[in-house]
Structure 1
């Protein structure tokens, strides 16, 4: 009984793997397809964002933030991401591969920690090509890229270069892969485009466009013109004096259109 209680107390006090391994990082990013395409279709692809769930030695249990897939992946295929832009243990070549992925554009960036030397950082920015800037550190732990411009922390540096390029290739626009999660398409349920032949205006009867008895017929699903559009067309036809097609019975009848021109002689005209 006593041993069981001690074992239970140990389990309650021992931190779980999520707290120790993934507590501080925002997410994980896949550095290379897993498994390799030569073996099978990858479960996780380079650039995918993951959430760490637990670790079992060199294997991490993760969930894809794009698809929700839960599986294991070797820890050397992923990197931890802090603040959305600080990539742990990513080299120069891998940074270029990530920044060249779809979803990144001019100004996309990441700060990478040297995989061989902790606490040593570089800024990689996508421009016409990928530009790399070494981040130096003073004895008082302040950071700088240009000697005359120092920052107390990396966050201050990123905030500054997000407002002004100030010597680097361009203003920082968005963290690398920030747009990698595809947004739901707003055109998924859009109606199909219907191609119609050109309208023969000589065969359009102005009276039928605005005839209340014809509205139910004109407003059916096969008609693409609203009542307002039909009103505009009818007005245009009146002003343009486009003759309406006449029925044989009405050929002998003649009609005249009378237009009244308003008198503007008493209106104030602003000539300024």
Structure 2
């Protein structure tokens, strides 16, 4: 297989893993309280991830002094995004939540332009505005399908965007997998603390299998997302991120007997289209900058 094909398959596998994790959590929420789920999944995920990375000889928790504050803020943003996202996921159709989260490439691009000064042309800005219009069709403020849980999904988008901006500011000396393990452990501990105020329920065999499955597929998703960055061209591979919406539609129909209304489907199509356009424009801009940076080749001499 070509590197691009491998990258596309890794990206699709990563998105399938994240969406399957969401489906497992949504099923667990039918029997277990939210923070008990967060704690159990956090413990299992942290243990499995730490053991795997340690066995590979790449586990390091050395965070440079200048990055420690950023890692703390990143972890807090991750915890807030997790709570907001799972609150929306448990109470909304999985496809609707996934469609709202599909706006992340747009929000990250806009936030990087506003807060980090990264260049964004007027075409991408128009695409971002159109994408936000698609999000409004999904959320449907003032409509019959609107709920406060849609606002929780939007809050998750904002917090994940903040997390990604903080991640961009981390130095190259910060160990990526070490930060991932720290984050997973912090999320699990937060769930444990918050679950003290909830009545714990007995974890039967089915729930235990779902917790193990959620932990396994989310680790696989993280691994595939890392492998994506090591093969293929980003401009070719990145659009396959939107296969998560296909998985969400399929799992929502098959497992939860859910299917979005026409406005939600239209909004999802707009978000995906504008996201693809934004990714394409980023690739075009990067290639143009590369051509400008390369020195001109001297004209061939005459005999």
Q: TM-score range by the shorter chain?
A: under 0.3
Q: Give 1 or 2: higher helix fraction.
A: 2
Q: Which has the higher contact order (CA 8 A, sep 6+)?
A: 2
TM-score, normalised on structure 2?
Answer: 0.18
Query: Based on CA coordinates, which of the two structures has the bigger radius of gyration?
Result: 1
